Structure 1
Amino acid sequence: MGETILSVKDLHISFRTLDGKVSAVRGVTFDLKRGETLALVGESGSGKSVSMKAINRVLPGNTLYDQGEIIYEGQNLLKLSESAMEKIRGRKIAMIFQDPMTSLNPTMSVGKQIAESILIHEDMSREEALEQAVELMRLVGIRNPQESWKNYPHQFSGGMRQRVMIALSLACKPDILIADEPTTALDVTIQSQILDLIDDLKKQLNMSVIFITHDLGVVAHVADKVAVMYAGRIVEIGTAEEIFYNPQHPYTWGLICSMPSLDTKDAALYSIPGSPPNLLHVPQGDAFAPRNAYALEIDYEQQPPFFRVGNSATHYAATWLLAPEAPKVVPPAEILKRQDVFKHTYLLQI
Structure 2
Amino acid sequence: MERILDVKNLHVDFKTYNGTVHAIRGVDFHLNDGETLAIVGESGSGKSVTVRSVLRLLAKNASISQGEVLYHGEDLLKKSEKEMDNLRGNKISMIFQDPMTSLDPTMTIGKQVAEPLLIHNKVSKADALKRAEEVLRLVGIPNPKARMKDYPHQFSGGQRQRIVIAIAIVDYPEILIADEPTTALDVTVQAQIIDLLRELQQKIGTSIIFITHDLGVVAGIADRVAVMYAGKFVEYGSVDEVFYDPQHPYTWGLLDSMPTLNTSEQDRLNSIPGTPPNLLNPPTGDAFAPRNAYALQIDTEQQPPFFKVTKTHYAATWLLHPDAPKVTPPVSIQQRFKKYQAWLEGDVK
* Bin for the TM-score computed over the shorter chain: over 0.9
Q: Tell me if the contact between 1:217 and 1:341 (Cα under 8 Å) persists in the aligned partners.
A: no
Alignment partner, residue 333 of structure 1? 331
Following superposition of structure 1 onto structure 2, how do residues 126-205 of structure 1 map, counting pairs within 5 Å? Answer: 126-205=125-204
Alignment partner, residue 274 of structure 2? 274
Query: How many pairs were matched up?
Result: 344
Shift of 1:75: 0.9
Alignment partner, residue 320 of structure 2? 322
Q: How far apart, in 1, do the equivalents of 2:240 and 2:275 lie?
A: 28
Following superposition of structure 1 onto structure 2, how do residues 2-13 of structure 1 map, counting pairs within 5 Å? Answer: 2-13=1-12
Q: How far apart, in 2, do the equivalents of 1:188 and 1:226 lie?
A: 21
Secondary structure of residue in 2 paired with 1:160: helix
After superposition, what is the alpha-carbon deviation per residue over 1:298-330, rounded to whole angstroms, capped at 9, x for unaligned? 000000000001xx2110000000011111101
Q: Tell me if the contact between 1:117 and 1:171 (Cα under 8 Å) persists in the aligned partners.
A: yes
- The one-letter code matched in structure 1 to 2:181 is P
- The one-letter code matched in structure 2 to 1:277 is P
Alignment partner, residue 97 of structure 1? 96
Q: Tell me if the contact between 1:231 and 1:277 (Cα under 8 Å) persists in the aligned partners.
A: yes
Q: How far apart, in 1, do the equivalents of 2:22 and 2:324 lie?
A: 29
Shift of 1:178: 0.4
The 1:342–1:76 alpha-carbon spacing in structure 2 relative to 1, beyond 3 Å, is: farther
Secondary structure of residue in 2 paired with 1:221: coil
Following superposition of structure 1 onto structure 2, how do residues 227-266 of structure 1 map, counting pairs within 5 Å? Answer: 227-265=226-264, 266=266
The 1:340–1:160 alpha-carbon spacing in structure 2 relative to 1, beyond 3 Å, is: farther
**TM-score under structure 1 normalisation?**
0.96
Q: How far apart, in 2, do the equivalents of 1:86 and 1:345 lie?
A: 47
Secondary structure of residue in 2 paired with 1:120: helix
Q: Tell me if the contact between 2:245 and 2:337 (Cα under 8 Å) persists in the aligned partners.
A: no
Shift of 1:184: 0.7
Shift of 1:226: 0.2
- The one-letter code matched in structure 2 to 1:323 is H
- The one-letter code matched in structure 2 to 1:100 is P
Q: Tell me if the contact between 2:13 and 2:65 (Cα under 8 Å) persists in the aligned partners.
A: yes
Q: How far apart, in 1, do the equivalents of 2:336 and 2:277 lie?
A: 27
Q: Tell me if the contact between 1:115 and 1:132 (Cα under 8 Å) persists in the aligned partners.
A: yes
Q: Tell me if the contact between 1:221 and 1:345 (Cα under 8 Å) persists in the aligned partners.
A: no
Same amino acid, percent of matched pairs = 61
Q: How far apart, in 1, do the equivalents of 2:65 and 2:163 lie?
A: 36
Shift of 1:342: 7.4
- The one-letter code matched in structure 1 to 2:5 is L
Moved more, 257-266 or 297-306: 257-266
Shift of 1:28: 0.6
Q: Tell me if the contact between 1:162 and 1:182 (Cα under 8 Å) persists in the aligned partners.
A: yes
Shift of 1:336: 3.3
Q: How far apart, in 1, do the equivalents of 2:170 and 2:10 lie?
A: 29
Q: Tell me if the contact between 1:261 and 1:340 (Cα under 8 Å) persists in the aligned partners.
A: no
**TM-score under structure 2 normalisation?**
0.96
Any unmatched runs of 5+ in structure 1? none
Any unmatched runs of 5+ in structure 2? none
Alignment partner, residue 79 of structure 2? 80
Moved over 6 A (4+): 340-347
Secondary structure of residue in 2 paired with 1:268: coil
Coordinate RMSD, CA, aligned: 1.7
Q: How far apart, in 2, do the equivalents of 1:257 and 1:212 lie?
A: 20
The 1:184–1:341 alpha-carbon spacing in structure 2 relative to 1, beyond 3 Å, is: farther
